[in-house]
């Protein structure tokens, strides 16, 4: 099995507690996922994030084919980091570490993703396509998160969660 790695870093502006609150609420994942993925949370999102939480999604990641993606929140250190791991879904292996560190400019958000493709080694020729799609998801997310936390004036709740007052 060949393990791939994707790293992303982004500075977020606003209160650490507001940023953590946004990312620890599974419902907000839909606001930072591109529409072309047809992302829908089916279950597990009723409570704020906790270790052992199982989240069930429906996505159309490749060729507009619907699939189920089930992840587990395996580790949480309040305000610092959390880990989601795939239990069922499009990858053979998925481990995603989200880290939030105060820095001079704001909050440094770091994503470290390790993933493996199904049917490896036969799927290796498809990796460039899959990586391009994965990069597109995280490029979209970067812009969506910038809209949520645009500057040091704070958290813009209405822009990120129009369904909430």
Give the distance from CA 125 to its chain's centroid: 25
pLDDT, residue 62, reads 74
In tens digits, the chain (165 residues) has pLDDT values of 999 999 999 999 889 999 999 999 999 999 999 999 999 999 999 998 999 999 999 998 777 889 999 999 999 999 999 999 999 999 999 999 999 999 888 899 999 999 999 999 999 999 999 999 999 999 999 999 999 888 654 444 444 443 433
CA atoms within 13 Å, Cβ hemisphere of 80: 4
pLDDT, residue 36, reads 93
Please name the residues in contact with 104: beta carbons below 8 A apart, sequence gap of 6 or more: none
CATH of span 4-159: 3.30.530.20
Bridge partners of 83? 75, 97
Give the tokens for residue 38: 């047809």
The C-alpha atoms of residue 60 and residue 12 are separated, in whole angstroms, by 29
pLDDT, residue 152, reads 53
Give the tokens for residue 78: 């309040």
Could you give phi then psi for residue 31, rounded to 5 degrees? -70, -20
Contact present, 120 and 133 (Cβ < 8 Å): no
* Secondary structure class of 23 (helix, strand, coil): helix
pLDDT, residue 63, reads 74
Contact present, 33 and 27 (Cβ < 8 Å): no
- How is the chain split into domains, by residue range? 4-159
pTM for this structure?
Answer: 0.88
Place of tokens 């036969």: 122
């Amino acid at each position: 099995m060949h393990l791939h790695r994707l790293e992303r870093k982004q500075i977020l502006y606003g209160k650490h507690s507001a940023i953590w609150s946004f990312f620890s609420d599974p419902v907000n994942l839909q606001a930072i996922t591109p529409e072309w993925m047809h992302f829908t949370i089916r279950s597990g999102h009723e409570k704020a994030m906790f270790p052992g939480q199982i989240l069930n999604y429906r996505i159309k990641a490749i060729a507009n084919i619907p699939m189920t993606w089930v992840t587990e929140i395996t580790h949480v250190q309040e305000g610092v980091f959390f880990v989601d791991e795939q239990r069922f879904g499009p990858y053979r292996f998925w481990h995603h570490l989200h880290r939030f560190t105060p820095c001079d400019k704001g909050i440094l958000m770091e994503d470290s993703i390790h993933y493996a493709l199904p049917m490896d080694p036969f799927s290796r020729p498809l990796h460039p396509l899959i990586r391009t799609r994965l990069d597109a998801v995280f490029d979209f997310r970067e812009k969506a998160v910038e809209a949520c936390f645009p500057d040091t004036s704070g958290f813009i709740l209405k822009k990120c969660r129009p369904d909430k007052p």
